[in-house]
Amino acid sequence: MSKSIFITGASSGIGEALAQEFARRGYAVAITGRRAERLEALATQLRGLGAAAVLPLALDVTDFATIDMALERAAREFGRLDVVVANAGVGYSLPVGRGKFELVRQTIDTDLTGAIATLEFALPRLRAQGGGQLVAVTSVAASRGMPFMGAYSAAKAGLHRYVQALRAEVRHEPIVVTELAPGYIDTDMNRMVKNRPFVIPLERGGAIMARLIERGVGRRHVPAWPWALLAPLTKLIPTRLLAPPPRKHRGS
């Protein structure tokens, strides 16, 4: 029987790349996202890549109650869910205190609360079937609050701490908990960023992450080099070196 995987935020970016990688590995793949037309096009592609089965499901993870329904449908379709990936996320440049709170809330609702909700609803199903793997996609941005990335950094740092607690609580159960913390992977979300140090192609990022998921790792940066070294070091950078130039104010 083929293994199965459920991926949130699969209509583009890392989620799409993961779906393609696991289709090539012969998994049954449930792909979810807000853009139904993108999911249908991807589903056709995944079948051509060798997926054992494909189930596209329109899902907005900020509509928390619908996550459980999507997981239930995928579990019924595939018989079980071997891997559940909480990947859905948004990212905006959000200077603090500039009237962007609605986008701040959207970031927290999607990247933190939506991800936690996915894992919370998935865990009882994995327990009931005798085991499985939960995967959370965080970010190197969780290591340090960076200018204009306060909400994103806060959401990913919060998810990182939640996953730590989750891993400790299920340590004696047949549940694997994996956290993947990418650096810059070339996606639509970050292509407008002027400086993307050590950026890697999306296809490479997806392949690395798929291998790490199949290996059942605990926590890894993607790619490991140089982020395993650099991410912890960002905590030591003085704030004055990160601060943007002072804003110019017009005279009265």
Cis amide leading into 223 (omega within 30):
yes
To the nearest 10 degrees (0 to 180), the angle between helices 13-24 and 202-215 is: 60
Q: Say how far apart CA 169 and CA 128 lie, in whole Å.
A: 16
Residue pointed to by tokens 């603090």: 96
27, 92, 152, 184: the catalytic one is 152
Contact call for residues 136 and 119 (beta carbons, < 8 A): yes
Answer yes or no: 162 catalytic.
no
Q: Say how far apart CA 56 and CA 126 lie, in whole Å.
A: 21
Residue 39 falls in which region: left (phi positive, over 0), alpha (psi -120 to 50) or beta: alpha
Report the catalytic residues.
Answer: 152
